[in-house]
Amino acid sequence: MRITISGPPGSGKTTVCRIVADELGIECVISGDVFRQMARDHEMSLAEFGLLAEQDPSYDRMLDDRMVELARENENILLEGRLTAHMLTDDGLEAFRVLLDADLDERARRVAEREDLDPQEAKGRITERERCEAARYREYYGIDIDDRSIYDLIVDTTSITAEEVSDVILEGLRE
Percent of the chain with pLDDT over 70: 100
Q: What is the pLDDT of residue 45?
A: 85
DSSP-assigned letters across all residues of 56-92: -THHHHHHHHHHHHHHHH-SSEEEE-TTHHHHHHHTT
Q: How does pLDDT run across 113-135, given as a tens digit for each residue?
A: 999 999 999 999 899 888 888 88
Q: What local confidence, expressed as pLDDT, does residue 54 receive?
A: 79
* Domain of 20, in residue numbers: 2-102+150-158
What is the C-alpha separation between 17 and 45, in angstroms, rounded? Answer: 25
Has residue 37 been placed in a domain? Answer: yes
- According to the model, what pLDDT value does residue 140 have? 84
Answer yes or no: is 130 within a domain: no
Count how many domains the chain has.
1
Residue 86: inside a domain: yes
Whether 116 is in a domain gets the answer no
pLDDT digits 0-9 by tens, 36-94: 899 899 998 877 887 888 788 888 888 899 999 999 999 999 999 989 999 999 999 99
Q: What pLDDT score was predicted for residue 128? A: 87
Asked if residue 3 lies in contact with residue 150, where contact means CB atoms within 8 angstroms, the answer is no
Assess if residue 167 is contained within a domain: no
User: Which CATH number do you get for residue 52?
Assistant: 3.40.50.300
With respect to residue 118, please indicate whether it lies within any of the assigned structural domains: no
What is the spatial distance between Cα 50 and Cα 152, in angstroms, rounded to a whole number? 31
Other C-beta atoms within 10 Å of 137: how many? Answer: 19
Mean pLDDT computed over 158-170? 97
Please tell me the predicted confidence (pLDDT) of residue 60.
84
Is 97 within the bounds of a domain? Answer: yes
Q: 19-47, pLDDT tens digit by residue? A: 999 999 999 999 989 988 998 999 988 77
Structural domain includes residue 141: no
Task: Give the pLDDT confidence score for residue 101 in this predicted structure.
Answer: 97
What mean pLDDT comes out for the span 130-146? Answer: 86
